Structure 1
Amino acid sequence: MLTINGLIFAVGTTVLALSPATVSSPVLATELPVLTVGLALMVTATAFLLRAGLAPLDGLTALMERVDSLRSGDRMETGGNGDLGHLVATFNAMLDRLEADRSSSTARVLAAQEAERQRIARELHDEIGQSLTVVLLQLKRVVDRVPAELTEEMRMVRENVRGCLDEVRGVARRLRPGVLEDLGLPSALAALVTEFENVEGLELSKNLENPPDLDPDTELVIYRIAQEGLTNVARHSRASRARLTLARGPGQIVLEVTDDGCGPPEKDGSGILGMRERALLIGAKLSITGRPCGGTRVRLAVPIDNARNPHPAGALTEPPELT
């Protein structure tokens, strides 16, 4: 600010000294227009230079208003010089630190969450599941010895216990997708689709390509986001049809969950926030948008760098649209 005002004052003094204009004391009426024009030029130049010099503040303010730690990479160009350029660079560095800290914290939280899921799944399978299996075997022996009039009731009890055992196994499977570790991501996603096909009134289809050899954490993130996406379809979308797609594109792997339901929510809930946190953890981009023909599209683009041995990616083919 001091430099700008000093420059304007020096230019005005130079022009006054070299021009034929004079200023009397007291000021004559004929000299007033010259002074007015000179003052107007100085004010205009000052306003222009101040606006140009402080322009980065508008961009910085807009960035502060829209910045979201779950949507990384939003930065402001540091083209300015001086104090403002340093301020912008410092603000960008602060965002880098905050995103790094959040990513690290999210990684620890999700790792603890997955460990707890596995512990609960083991207990359900090894303790409750085994106990229910023993009860089924005992009931089988009892059914063979009870009076005839109680046989049907005992069989109903046995079938109820068998149903509970199936539910326990299903919960354990959702908590710890063993098929993901044993057979890989496409098989795990196919099993996930089969599980959700039992939802009444929902027609579910899939198109799953074999991805490159992914890091286990990346596979788990893709699986969990697909699981949450299908859960949202089943619970909230009121859709009649949905589709799960996994495809390889230029430099990325793309997961999509689309439906023909009521469209995306106006505000992110805890499930969607969890999806965004997982995507941020592996450097992927998650978008949840409406579809032109109605419904919702959940799209996760994972950089191919997250593969252990990336294969040349083919052209991304758009999955058939739901109509």
Structure 2
Amino acid sequence: MRRTPASALFWRILGINGLIFVAGTLVLAVGPVTVSTPILLGEFFVLLGGLTVMVAANALLLRASLAPLEGLTALMARMDSLRSGDRLPAGGNGDLFHVVDQFNAMLDRLEADRSSSTALVLDAQEAERRRIAQELHDEIGQTLTVVLLELKPVVDRAPEGVAEELRDVQETVRSSLDEVRRVARRLRPGVLDDLGLTSALTALATDFSGTGGPRVTRRVQPGLEGLGADAELVIYRIAQESLTNVWRHSGARNAELSLTRDGEGRVVLRVADDGSGPPDRVGSGIHGMRERAMLIGAQLTIGPADGGGTEVRLVVPPPGARRA
């Protein structure tokens, strides 16, 4: 029979049981223990004690052999496709540790494949965002700008009553132009490419504070260079989605956005509000945040904030410690 983990486990269990029964048989064969017919009460207790010892030894040996199954079952129960790095301790003796090693290797392959697929999807998404933002800026934005320019001489020549109505039209067009520019910035933040993450987060907080929603305070530690373009984009997008959720769903009056580096060299993004608390279910926005965090090996947690509301916390490891 070809040796496999299953066959090896079969022979191990068979060998353990066989060894125990052989040992019990030898004890009865060469020992001073005799059994009368009918059996005496003292002999019965001797046999019962021997049987108890055999069962206990069998249980201990089997428990040691099957111990890795408990950890494997627990890992399968808590496994989350968007939480990376959760593994069983590798190595050790016994046939089931080979199963554990293979299971860990399978998780590595699945996470690597998922990361590659997610990266391709998010790259395509960013390219589409860039294209739409460019079209909004170049096509609709320029068209609205031309309308504003053409309205100005008409307003100047129009009678006062008509001119007042045309001024209202001007304000509507100007507001629409501002909104188009705001949407374009959210789709593709040019400030992130041009001025860096700190300026982009500052502009993001200012943008949300000016929409009539919660007041956003920001605390961005200076000198956070060397994160890499991918990590900076992930941090920006998660901060953007977090503030969007605060604005749309939390009912909060205040929010805080902070980006700092802790004592272990990790960069920590924190978005907290004083709203209604964490969501009851995971929507597409949170799912997308977790996918982005997984791409750079970061840890994303969403839970209650101190004093009420919701806290989104993203912990980005140093570049050298990120999982490939």
Same fold, TM-score > 0.5, yes or no: yes
Change in 2 beyond 3 A, CA 1:263/1:149 = closer
Task: Return the match for 2:311 from 297, 306, 314.
Answer: 297
**Alpha-carbon spacing, 1:176–1:201, altered in 2? closer, same or farther (3 Å):** closer
Q: Deviations over 1:154-176 (max 9, x none)?
A: 11112111111111111111101
User: CA shift at 1:281, angstroms?
Assistant: 0.4
Deviation, structure 1 residue 289: 1.7
Match for residue 109 of structure 1 among 109, 121, 133: 121
Query: SS at the partner of 1:299?
Result: strand
1:64-103 deviations in whole A, cap 9, x for unaligned? 1110011111111235533311111111111111111111
Indicate the SS of the match to 1:194: helix
Q: Distance in 2 between matches of 1:239 and 1:148?
A: 44
CA offsets 1:132-167 (integer angstroms, 9 cap, x no match): 111111111222233333111111112111111111
Residues 275-302 of structure 1: per-residue CA shift (max 9 Å, x gap): 1110110111111121232121111111
Give, as a single letter, the amino acid of the residue that structure 2 aligns with 1:239. Answer: A
1:317 matched to which residue of 2?
Answer: none
> Is 1:67 the equivalent of 2:79?
yes
Match of 2:10? none
Q: Secondary structure at the match of 2:157?
A: coil
1:236 Cα offset (Å): 1.3
Distance in 1 (CA, whole Å) between partners of 2:213 and 2:234 is: 28
2:292 aligns with 278
- Is residue 214–residue 255 contact of structure 2 (8 Å, CA) maintained in 1? yes
What is aligned with 1:217? 230
- Is the contact between residue 88 and residue 104 of structure 2 (CA under 8 Å) also seen in structure 1? yes
Tell me, yes or no, if structure 1 residue 186 matches structure 2 residue 198: yes
Query: CA–CA distance in 2 between the matches of 1:15 and 1:193?
Result: 81
**Structure 2 residue ranges without an equivalent (≥5):** 1-12
Between 70-79 and 96-105, the greater mean CA deviation after superposition:
70-79
Which residue does the alignment assign to 1:143?
Answer: 155
SS at structure 2 position matched to 1:255? strand
What is the alpha-carbon distance in structure 2 between the residues aligned to residue 27 and residue 53 of structure 1?
39
* Alignment pair present for 1:254 and 2:265: no
The TM-score normalised by the length of structure 1 is: 0.89
Q: For the residues of structure 2 that align with 1:126 and 1:48, how far apart are their CA atoms? A: 75
Deviation at 1:196, TM superposition (A): 0.9
What residue identity is the alignment partner of 2:156?
D
- Matches of 2:25 and 2:17 in 1, distance apart? 12
TM-score of the two chains, using structure 2 as the length reference: 0.89
Aligned to 1:311: none
Map 1:64-213; keep pairs closer than 5 Å.
Answer: 64-200=76-212, 202-210=214-222, 211-213=224-226
Q: Quick one: distance in 2 between partners of 1:306 and 1:229?
A: 27
1:27 Cα offset (Å): 5.7
- The residue matched to 2:95 in structure 1 has which SS? helix
The offset of 1:219, in angstroms, is: 0.7
Contact persistence 1:291–1:297 (CA under 8 A): yes
Matched, 1:29 2:40: yes
Specify the alignment match of 2:3 in structure 1.
Answer: none
Q: Are the counterparts in 2 of residues 261 and 294 from structure 1 also a CA contact under 8 Å?
A: yes
- For 1:220 and 1:75, locate their aligned partners in 2 and report how far apart those are by CA, in whole Å: 28
Deviation at 1:13, TM superposition (A): 2.6
Aligned length: 306
Identity %: 65
